[in-house]
Amino acid sequence: MSQNGQDLSEWIARIRGCEMPVFGHTVQALRAIMDDERASASALAQVILKDAPMTSKVLRLANSAYFNHAHQGVNTVSRAIVVLGFDPVAELALSVSLIDSLLQGGVRSRVQIEMARSFHAAVQARWVAAKRGDGAGEEVFIAALLARVGEMAFWCFGGEQAQMLDRCLSQSQMREEEAQQVVLGFPLRHLSVGLVREWRLGSLVAAALEGDPRSRGPERAVVLGHRLARAAESGWDSQVGRQAIRDVADYLGQSVSTVQAEVIVNSNEAARVAGTFGAPEAARIIPHRDLPAEPEVPAAVIPSGPDAGLQLRILHDLTALTLSRASIADILQLVLEGVYRGVGCERVVVALLTPDRSQLQGKAALGAGGEGLCAQFAFPMDGDPEDVIDTAIDSGVACWVTPKHAPKGIRRLFRVTACNHAFVVPFGMPNRQIGVLYADRGGKPLDDESWRAVQHFALQASLAVGMRVPDSDYAQSKW
């Protein structure tokens, strides 16, 4: 029991429910997708794109030399999943969410120290795994990054107890775990174990924290990565530094001199990686030599209006996806992202006809309130020639909705969207539409450039549908 009466379970509940609920929701959404073998790339992209800062950082990381070994330009989340892989992108998103949640205050110096150790350990651990040929480099990197989640969360949100432990560590000669036991009644690594279980952060990080420290599996790389990171703080030539390098050399079956040279290079890489994640203070703490900086990867921002360059790059990716005969769901997800990020619309919905063509239903959406709008985006196909939804499906004619439209024509749409400035653009086969693309800017007037751009993306969707099967059932079943 800690000095203020809170035990370990209460600390776990406090951090989970009061201090980091947004991260908990993000983990839940990402883990549900990662654990579902049937989950599509579009489902993962949906979760990431709903968070603009996460989108920006995931794309920056996906374009960095450390993660993108093929040096393929990545303009969209959908493309990132293709280039890096499904699980690596999901784990990057999870890590980005954690780092952002922890960069909010608390005993800031301690938070940054723990974060620096974690980034350093992650890079060293991935290198160890690669040298062993384990083939789990990205998973090992994420596991090492998350292994001290309890320590980081405590220093960020521990309040008075964090201040008390900070004073104890600064003013006494006690070891870290001893001081933690005195002040809190438990070592902080137990908080890490509890949060890893609570948030289901992965079996590898759990194995590294709870398993046999002499294990030869990938969790051993995580343990050695953290040992190297801590040893570096004392200097590679210190007794603890030399011992850590010898342990890694024995594990890898390499000479001490070879390992020492490479771990020094890794520490420089770790500083760069921390900076790419948006943690420059942690990057400066990691022991490293000053080297020429890696070229800055620009952040991917959500444009406030049309971005012709980004549109062109996304359309290029769409063409490649179409020619590779990707699923309709993945193509429509990229169309959605193109209109949201490239055209700069604030709300975008892809809606598809039901198999019996009796109703149009929202299938995916991006933007503020996107989930709610998508759920309400359901319209019976009544064949009313004045209604913009019926007209789009029946005649294949796109509609630019403005306040000048006849009230009857936009009444059903307005009840759902509460917006009288919007685009409704159908897509599908020439004589058989399968759905519509809806876009608006939250009630603000639209422009000719955006009108042409949205139609271009809808046309690309139609071309993709035309290369597959002319049947809405296919798109319905694969979304």
pLDDT for res 109: 84
CATH number belonging to domain 308-478:
3.30.450.40
pLDDT for res 3: 47
| Cβ–Cβ under 8 Å, residues 437 and 461 | yes
40 contacts: CB under 8 Å, gap ≥ 6 = 327, 329, 330, 333, 478, 479
Which has the closest alpha carbon to 22: 100, 136, 87, 89?
100
Tokens of 177: 């775990």
- Looking at the chain, the domain(s) classified CATH 3.30.450.40 span 308-478
d(CA 124, CA 266) in angstroms, rounded, equals: 6
- Looking at the chain, the domain(s) classified CATH 1.10.3210.10 span 8-285
| Cβ–Cβ under 8 Å, residues 384 and 412 | no
pLDDT for res 416: 96
H or E segment and range at residue 99: helix 86-102
85 contacts: CB under 8 Å, gap ≥ 6 = 138
Using the structure block, give the residue that is written with the tokens 């839940």.
28
Residue 257's Cβ-count burial label (10 Å; 0-12, 13-18, 19+) is exposed
pLDDT for res 468: 64
Q: What is the pLDDT along the chain (479 residues), one digit of tens a residue?
A: 444 446 899 999 999 887 888 888 888 889 888 888 877 777 888 889 888 889 999 999 999 989 988 788 888 998 898 888 898 999 999 999 999 888 876 667 888 999 999 999 999 999 999 998 877 788 999 999 999 999 999 998 888 999 999 999 988 888 999 999 999 999 999 999 999 999 989 889 999 998 766 677 889 999 999 999 999 999 999 999 999 999 999 999 999 999 999 999 999 999 999 999 989 999 999 987 654 455 555 544 454 567 889 999 999 989 988 888 888 888 899 999 999 999 999 999 999 999 999 999 999 999 888 889 999 999 999 888 889 999 999 999 999 999 988 778 899 999 999 999 999 999 998 888 999 999 999 999 999 999 999 999 999 999 988 876 544 444 454 55
Which has the closest alpha carbon to 359: 328, 383, 334?
383
Q: How many other C-beta atoms lie within 10 A of the C-beta of residue 170? A: 8
Residue 155's Cβ-count burial label (10 Å; 0-12, 13-18, 19+) is buried
pLDDT for res 113: 92
pLDDT for res 213: 62
The pTM of this model reads: 0.80
pLDDT for res 290: 56
pLDDT for res 479: 56
For domain 8-285, which architecture applies? Orthogonal Bundle (1.10)
pLDDT for res 236: 93
pLDDT for res 17: 81
